[in-house]
Structure 1
Amino acid sequence: MSHAKGPARPAFAPRSKLYKGRFGRICPGLTPWTPPGVPPEQIEAHFVAFANEHMTERPGLSPGEAIEIDDELETEFSSAIPAGYTYFGQFVDHDITFDPTPLGVEITDPEGLDNFRTPRLDLDCVYGSGPHDQPYMYDGAGKFLIGKIEGSDLDDLPRNPLGRAIIGDMRNDENAIVSQIQLAFLTAHNTLVDRAVAAGKADPFMEARRVLTWLYQHCVWEDFVRRICIDEVVDTALVKMKGKDGRVQWGLGLKDVYNWEYNPFMPLEFSVAAYRFGHSMVRNGYQTNFTHNQLDRVPLFNNTTAGSGASEPDLRGFGPRTEVTTVQWDWYFDMGNEADFFPQRARKIDTKLANALLFLGEDDGNPASVANKLAARNLIRGVMMELPSGPDVAAKLNVPVTVTLGDDEPAALWYYILREAEGQGGARLGRLGSTIVSAVFAGLLKGDPKAFVNVDPGWTPEAELASGMLTEDDKQDNSDWGLQAILRISGQPVSGV
């Protein structure tokens, strides 16, 4: 049932699994879910009230107060997933999808949805349209321009006089952690250009881009997806097969879940629901580095001094990096530091969102504003995009229904996926969430003609050692070539600043 106002319009995300455009649906034949008994004009207020009462981690507390509870109850809230993967997941999201449509416009026109990103793991959020079309991002020799923190030798994203980053995707400057992941990719590329020049490569820029992109694809699948999804689902979704003749090929095992005719589309069940699990992994604040911050947590968003004229540091973005907000990466990923408190951990995947996420948008601190309630916005968006319920999707995909929803709980797909993970202790996604996320990432890789699984199916990062594009020092103790390798290549701070 559509709640659009005005005349009906043709769907931009048609109910066809073979749709050739950039958005589509995994379950096109299912009935859209809406909250029972709630008139369309009351949906916003309904979900805001539900989010306020049921989806806030510590009702009534500021993020600063919630940080103190985080410190006291670290184990209760923490998963085993290092905190950096929360923001790497955000970086990956920005690489594959971008819908700039304001929420109010979606309510008016639920089918007016477009994806301004290629649905591929191709790092277009880093490279933009390349040095020929966006020369202001490059130095003329195939390297990215890099900024500096004023009065320091620390790197920063290149910025204009207003402090805004000059990068391939503006969203990768929206908080200090994801902006420094972006910075790490820029400086990793520059290092790889130097190595390509030393190795005598004919086109150092393209060689560096290829190696960084393939290493990134490897990290997404073997490091990130395997951490957040059930192992046997990941093993089914994308299978590396070696024939009797010795040739290696990659095959898709969940084509019944995610399939296309010519090119991959971005499924709404993924982008509007399943992949938004990361919102529940966000903490109220993070330790940043030893040298300038010691062990204090820096708030993600500091609303505690609003209106006082104070300027306590926080991790919100769209401004220059500072010494206090500089990320020491062994606080966020397993970089070989053997201390018990390294790295800090992401929150469990559950139905509670950190208090810091109540203070988003221009109306900071106003609990009645939809823009300040990420949980409410996600629930509203699912209805406006006419997504089916979680139980209906589980039945359609033949995934066991493991969640019994209470009478006051929404059957919205996003909420159901969080409840499913919560029922398993919040360590990773449950069966339905794992199935959707694994199937889509596998399909995006296999559907990209330039991905390593298609161009060079036998490729592994080890294959780059002989050419000198990658080194054993990049891998160090991380035998599976995870994201840590890119961070080491980048030369950004690992163990101190």
Structure 2
Amino acid sequence: MPDQAGAAREQAHGRELYVIEGEGSYETHRAATAAEAAPPFRFSRVGPRGKRLDAKVRSKVARAMSGGRQRDGRIPAGYTYLGQFVDHDLTFDATTVAFGEDISPADLLQGRSPTLDLDSLYGFGPDDEVSQRFYEDDRTRLKVGTTTRIDNLIARAGFDVPRVGTGTRPRRANIPDLRNDENLAVAQHHAAFIRFHNRVVDKLPSSVPAAARFTKARRVVVLHYQWMLKTDYLPRIVDPAIVSDVFTDGRKVFEVGADPLSMPTMPVEFSVGAFRLGHSMIREAYDWNAEFPDGAGSLFFLFDFSRTSGTLGGSPTLPSNWIADWRRLYRFKQIDRPDLDPPAGEFNHARRIDTALVDPLANLPLGSFGGVDGDAGTMRANLAFRNLTRAAMLHLASGQQMADLMTARGVQLTKLTTDQIRDGLNGADLSDLTPAQLSAFLTDTPLWFYVLREAELNNGRLTGVGGRLVAETFHRAMEGSRNSIVRNSAWRPRIGPVADRFRMADLLVFAFENKLALLAPLGD
């Protein structure tokens, strides 16, 4: 009998097909299957075509980036995986929903689009034949998952993503985008967003008719989500001055002057370059909860206790001892809730955004990228090498090319010098490159590396090329969403105790009913 989980991994991770407007398609992993012959996700190119970095240089740079000395940054670790959740909302993947039967090209663009409208959570909505399986019978609330009892810890509803299957074998997630079950941290974020939606539904006035409750709830959820990204997430990872400039004065580089109601494209410079910043934020281990404190929540376990990359530890659903303690991932005292502080010494910071990645990312689990047995332990399993190779195959513009382009379009930035790219600040050591290789690398630096080097020299926050690409892509994605805080600039949050404030910590407090027993169900 075929391995259904393996098929799901192939579907979720195997396709790396980029169709760039005006150029055609670029295949970076394998040929698309017949089941994937649906209209493509709409990518675009902001900058010029770049030079393809030699494979030997890519290998050396990937090794230099892998397993070096990592430093904690100032950002709470939860934002690492919030960023991954957002990435899956923005970028297309060959999911079951996108490639179900009888989906028209128009539905594909509407249902899976580079907008910040949470289609990775909602799919095509409860009235769609394919997406109905994500919803309760009322077609308003999203289904929740239940953890598996272990030892003296009871099974808990709402603390895992919903799953399909029977018996004791590990079960596949029943969510629109299987990438949100490729590690435990992002899966727990997805489960939290399910709770958030359902709580919004519960709080709707009784006067809202049944037929309108889902649409109303989704609008509330999406607008608060966008506000949180604009005011909380983005200023943590990007120089706040850049965020303010883009959201106040508009875009200067990406889809400038576009019809606000038109469907955005996804710039490959963002998808394959700048927004891979989160890879450098990943820790090798986490103080996860009361059952796994003091770094016992290793990155290996975060992969294994998911289904796309792991086996859920052999359980049918997430074991109850692996439920996240949100106090260890987000600073609730930043929203004046010191009562939600974690035990002393048990808070996780993300690693500084820079050119150094933790050891485990040099040998990814095969399920996390659709690999085969022969890929284990090779450069194909090295995340840095995969990123650099994908960019090379797309002929992505170099950091220098993007800096020149932005300067020509009126963006104020300081281009990195060759010395800054070479030396950085306690990041990747490029001394293993030959003089000729180093010269070529410093002349045409891969965009992803360039963006991380910028952040490394800016106290772990994107600036210059990287900051502008990320802020402008987020702005356009919000502008083009069906529900938009960019087009509706007068909108303000209505959830939370403080006017005009809605941070990720506020979202979690609301979603988990303002109860410590739900935010940290395993206690201290």
Shift of 1:195: 1.2
Distance 1:94 1:11 in 2: 18
Q: Secondary structure at the match of 2:253?
A: coil
**Contact 1:146/1:157, CA 8 A, preserved across alignment:** yes
> After superposition, where does 1:231-310 map in structure 2 within 5 Å?
231-239=240-248, 252-259=249-256, 260=258, 262-290=262-290, 292-301=291-300
Shift of 1:198: 4.2
Q: Secondary structure at the match of 1:171?
A: helix
Q: Measured at CA, do residues 452 and 421 of structure 1 come closer, stay the same or move farther in structure 2, by a change above 3 Å?
A: closer
**Contact 1:131/1:137, CA 8 A, preserved across alignment:** yes
Distance 1:100 1:383 in 2: 22
Match of 1:246 in 2: none
Matched, 1:167 2:175: yes
Q: Secondary structure at the match of 1:330?
A: helix
Matched, 1:423 2:457: yes
Shift of 1:315: 4.5
CA RMSD of aligned residues (A): 2.9
Q: Secondary structure at the match of 2:185?
A: helix
Distance 2:207 2:286 in 1: 40
Shift of 1:255: 3.0
Shift of 1:48: 2.4
**Contact 2:134/2:175, CA 8 A, preserved across alignment:** yes
**Contact 2:242/2:463, CA 8 A, preserved across alignment:** no
Matched, 1:359 2:359: no
Distance 2:49 2:208 in 1: 58
Shift of 1:46: 3.9
> After superposition, where does 1:435-454 map in structure 2 within 5 Å?
435-454=468-487
Match among 504, 514, 517 for residue 483 of structure 1: 504
Q: Measured at CA, do residues 263 and 160 of structure 1 come closer, stay the same or move farther in structure 2, by a change above 3 Å?
A: closer
Question: Match of 2:362, as an amino acid?
Answer: L
Matched, 1:50 2:68: no
Match among 314, 323, 328 for residue 326 of structure 1: 323
Q: TM-score, normalised by structure 2?
A: 0.72
Shift of 1:197: 4.9
**Contact 1:79/1:347, CA 8 A, preserved across alignment:** yes
Shift of 1:276: 0.5
Shift of 1:257: 4.1
Match of 1:400 in 2: 414
Distance 2:417 2:135 in 1: 50
Q: TM-score, normalised by structure 1?
A: 0.76
Question: Match of 1:372, as an amino acid?
Answer: A
Q: Deviations over 1:460-481 (max 9, x none)?
A: 11xx3xxxxx353xx6xx9721
Distance 2:284 2:307 in 1: 15
Matched, 1:12 2:45: no
Match of 1:111 in 2: none
Match among 8, 33, 40 for residue 51 of structure 2: 33
Matched, 1:382 2:429: no
Distance 2:285 2:374 in 1: 17
Distance 1:447 1:145 in 2: 28
Q: Unaligned regions of 5+ residues in structure 2, if any?
A: 1-17, 25-39, 96-107, 334-339, 408-412, 423-434
Question: Match of 1:125, as an amino acid?
Answer: S
Q: Deviations over 1:290-346 (max 9, x none)?
A: 2x22434211125xxxxxxxxx99554444222332111011111234466463100
Distance 1:21 1:326 in 2: 34
Distance 2:464 2:59 in 1: 28
**Percent pairwise identity:** 32
Matched, 1:24 2:44: yes
Q: Measured at CA, do residues 200 and 13 of structure 1 come closer, stay the same or move farther in structure 2, by a change above 3 Å?
A: closer
Question: Match of 2:269, as an amino acid?
Answer: E
Matched, 1:157 2:161: yes
Match among 122, 126, 129 for residue 131 of structure 1: 126
